[in-house]
Structure 1
Amino acid sequence: MRVRCASTRGIVAAISSFLAEEECNITDSAQFDDADTGHFFMRVSFRSEGGRALEMLKDEFKPIADRFGMEFEFFDSRSMTRLTAAALRLISPEAVRTMWFKAAFEAW
């Protein structure tokens, strides 16, 4: 899941509460608050322990997205290619995080 919106209090709590209520376990999370633009960016990896489909989660997340004026995307990280996964393991976590935020959010 990727999220972008204006920076404000309560975003992380809303996202993590939503996922917990939907029986999803957060396995990884990264966030970035850009002081220059006032934008907040977040990436969350999670596992649906309740068997919820991504499309259903997207629909049920919309009220939260509307409340915060979020742009968001749910995606299945299992679709990452083996080559991409192998390449990412060779790069430092800080470099991966920086590249990911730039690539993921500059397109928005």
Structure 2
Amino acid sequence: MRRGYPSAVRDVASPDTPAPAPADAQGRSDQTFLVDAVVRSGGAERRAVARGQDIYAVTAPLVVEALDRVLTGRTRTVGVAAAGAIFDAPGFLRALSPHVTLDLLP
């Protein structure tokens, strides 16, 4: 591993790092995640915070929701685009509510 990487990055990339142990009946680890996004335009600021348990366990529901929206025509655009341009972001994240908690802050 190259020097200068934080230890967390080295741990994730290392083949010697053990996989997280299941902590509940659904097999999720007790690891938590938080994504905090702030957007500023002029003098206005908007913030969204998404959090949950075991981000890897959220991957399958996220992919299924995205695929369902594409196949049922619930998209804003076609072709190559960022997820935020294709889907209504708050609606998409709310659809993941069993797995992700979303707070939209003014």
TM-score after normalising by structure 2:
0.28
Q: Which has the higher helix share?
A: 1
Q: Which structure ranks higher in relative contact order (CA pairs < 8 Å, sequence separation ≥ 6)?
A: 1
TM-score after normalising by structure 1:
0.28
Q: Name the larger-Rg structure.
A: 2
